[in-house]
Amino acid sequence: MKFRWIAALAVMFALVAAACGDDTDVASTEDATSAEDAMEDVAADEAADGDDAMEEDAMEEDVMEEDVMEEDEAAVEEPADEPAMEEDAVEDDAMEDDVPTRIVSLNPTGTEMLFAVGAGDQVVAVDNFSYYPPEAPVVDDLSAFTPSVEAIAAFEPDLIVTQGPIEGLDALGVPIMELWAAVTLDDVYSQIEQVGAATGHVGEAAELVGQMQTDIDAVLASLPERETPLTYYHELDNTLYSVTSSTFVGYVYGLLGLENAADAADPDGEFFGYPQLNEEFLVTADPDIIFLADTICCAQTAETVAERPGWDQLSAVQNGNIVELNDDIVSRWGPRIVEFIQVAGEAVAALETADAS
Amino acid sequence: MSAASVRAAGPRAGWTAGALALMVLAATLALIIGPTEIDRGGVLRASLDELLPWTIGHSLTDTQASIVANLRLPRVVLGLIVGAALSTAGATFQGVFRNPLADPYLLGVAAGGGLGATIAFVNEWGDGQGVLDAVQVTAFVGALASVAITWTVGVLGDRARSATSLILAGVAVASFFTAVQTYLQQQNTEDIRQIYVWFLGGLTTSGWSEVGQAVVPTALCVAALLLAGRTLDVLSVGDDEAAMLGVPVGRVRLLLVVIASLLTATAVAVSGLIAFVGLIVPHTARLLAGTSYRSVLPLSAIGGATFLVLCDLAARTLLTPAELPIGVVTAFFGAPFFIVILRTARR
């Protein structure tokens, strides 16, 4: 009885972890979709020792670079009988009729991007985790975790946004746009441009990307130089699961000049960038800043962290350098990543000032 | 039967003393080895300082002393408690049901506890940390509820309360609870990660609050079961024979199952589901020191404590500073170890 449990859990756990390796994301449960899909990928690719997501993203990027002038929607698998989209996209909103008007999104990040580029009106249904922005037409039974092709077909979509391949979805003959978990900010920008191109909002997408770049550059420029980098711990849940620098979140912290205390726990990527940290290691490592990405999932706050036995020894607790983040924002890679960078940047800047005085 | 008892009575004290010495050794090792390098003598002095009512004094820094007192020591103590609880309960279930495959989760405790914890997680009642957190309470209640239902169903099907009907009822109840649990989990995928971590079990973030909550019920239940060694020996000859010897089989079985289930539920509440301990430790005790429950029960309690503390030591040091799920360690090291014992004992 018990063995079956443990075996099943171990397999599931490995899959979740494996999927995270592919997708650079564990905090968001929407990744569960790719946990399933990643099964084959992982099995197939592990031998080849290739990071699937990285290659995929790299490929998309290449395509984007080549075709960016034409605003080609690289990731959209268009059926042959709809060749008109490309030119329409260039002419932007001139031919509204030919842009998709019944978009179904099974990717919460994709949903955020669709609304941010102004394509919200063209979206008819989004999965049960796409609850941002609030006006997104969430369908409670529409799951990206256990997607039902029939349920998707019932919305008569003319564009489907997913995070990875969904079995049997091709059969609908509808264009599918796969937005894989980003690895770098350039991935985020190129995906937003793809979304803009595919929905007839090229101008807005370019504007959004430009604004994001400006805002992020402003944060980065506001950070003073340091001789020794500040260290941080990014908490995914209250059993001390964390991220290393090899993840997208870790990469973002790297942009802010921070050093990850969890990197030592997964140097070879055995945990795909998502190790569970030992508690006494963390207390000894004594990171300068603690970022809580478990304020929603696990109701953690600066207060609950301070109350943990032995944590009063941490200088981040003593100095109040605990930053409460929105779980969703830091587990997605949408336009709101700017908010995350601003909040984290403020915390870093505040610490710098405190140090200087 | 009586010959076996006599033979077991002789070496029993020796085995028990040896097992106790091993347990102390394991606990000491677990205290002095950790992801943080701390002076070994200092760790032991600080541990004694924390455990004993009077002050001993130590040479550690505040942070080191805090690590020993708040993190390492309670984790070792909880490992001892949970290990003893699970393997004593396992030995009891094996005796009560005369089934070598019985383990603490036989009557659906794992499925019931898992459902309880899942309900608490999806309703955001608690996070599984601290004293009497909602997750702990619901896991405890779920574990006991599953045993109660199993018992009721088993007795309904078979007035004689035979072992087989109870075990079958346990399988049915566990399947049903697992189905409900899986459904809830699929409906609440946002909580799936917390639920998985709970199911994997472990002592990762345990502190004195978990120890304080588990120590009294565990001590009482283990003590009660240790007194039942003779009764279990009589039960081992068969229900009818035991009844002829004057043992009220039905009532005794109910009482022992209730105590062992309380014990299991207490462990599950503070550490989630940890596999294998309750199965292989009693068997190892049996293979080494004979089949009398008067030696199997105490050796299981001590051996279970030792085994789990060592497994947890491996869990937190093998991939340091990362943690391994303890269930992976118990099965990975426990199974080969058990096979070795099995081979040497049969020779």
**Contact residues, chain A, for B114 at CB < 8 Å:** 5
**Do A240 and B35 lie within an 8 Å CB cutoff?**
no
pLDDT digits (tens, 9 = 90+) for B92-145: 999 998 888 888 888 899 899 999 999 999 988 887 776 778 889 999 999 999
Give the β-pairing of A176-178 and A231-235. Answer: unpaired
Assign B82 a pLDDT band (cuts: 50, 70, 90): very high
Separation in Å, CA of A285 to nearest CA in chain B: 9
What is residue B119's predicted lDDT score, i.e. its pLDDT?
A: 94
Once rounded to an integer, what is the mean pLDDT over residues B158-170? 77
What is residue A298's predicted lDDT score, i.e. its pLDDT?
A: 86
Q: Mean of the per-residue pLDDT values for chain B? A: 89
Of A13, A281, A300, the CB nearest to B320: A281
pLDDT digits (tens, 9 = 90+) for B39-53: 999 999 999 999 988
Kindly list the domain boundaries of chain B, sorted by start residue.
2-346
**Contact residues, chain A, for B316 at CB < 8 Å:** 278
pLDDT digits (tens, 9 = 90+) for B58-79: 889 999 999 999 999 999 999 9
For B69, name the nearest residue in chain A, comparing CA atoms only: A310
- Between CA A26 and CA A290 the distance in angstroms is 18
Question: All domains of chain A, ordered by start, with CATH?
Answer: 2-50 (no CATH), 56-214 (3.40.50.1980), 223-356 (3.40.50.1980)
Sign of CA dihedral A253, A258, A261, A266: positive
Q: Mean of the per-residue pLDDT values for chain A? A: 79
Of A5, A143, A237, the CB nearest to B193: A237
pLDDT digits (tens, 9 = 90+) for B322-342: 999 898 899 888 888 888 877
Of A9, A271, A309, the CB nearest to B208: A309
Question: Bigger pLDDT: A74 or A205?
Answer: A205
**Contact residues, chain B, for A244 at CB < 8 Å:** none
Spatial CB neighbours of A118, under 8 Å, sequence gap ≥ 6: A201, A204
Query: Tokens representing B229?
Result: 């060694």
**Measured CA distances, A257 to A52, A186, A205, A232, B70 (Å):** 27, 18, 28, 10, 32
What is residue A32's predicted lDDT score, i.e. its pLDDT?
A: 40
pLDDT digits (tens, 9 = 90+) for A244-288: 999 999 999 999 999 999 999 999 888 899 999 999 999 999 999
pLDDT digits (tens, 9 = 90+) for A169-204: 999 999 999 999 999 999 999 999 999 999 999 999
Please say whether the structural domain B2-346 has been given the CATH code 1.10.3470.10. Answer: yes
pLDDT digits (tens, 9 = 90+) for A20-62: 433 333 333 344 444 444 444 444 444 444 444 444 444 444 4
**Do B200 and A26 lie within an 8 Å CB cutoff?**
no
Q: Where are the alpha helices (DSSP H) in A52-184?
A: 52-67, 85-90, 108-116, 149-153
- Between CA A336 and CA A345 the distance in angstroms is 14
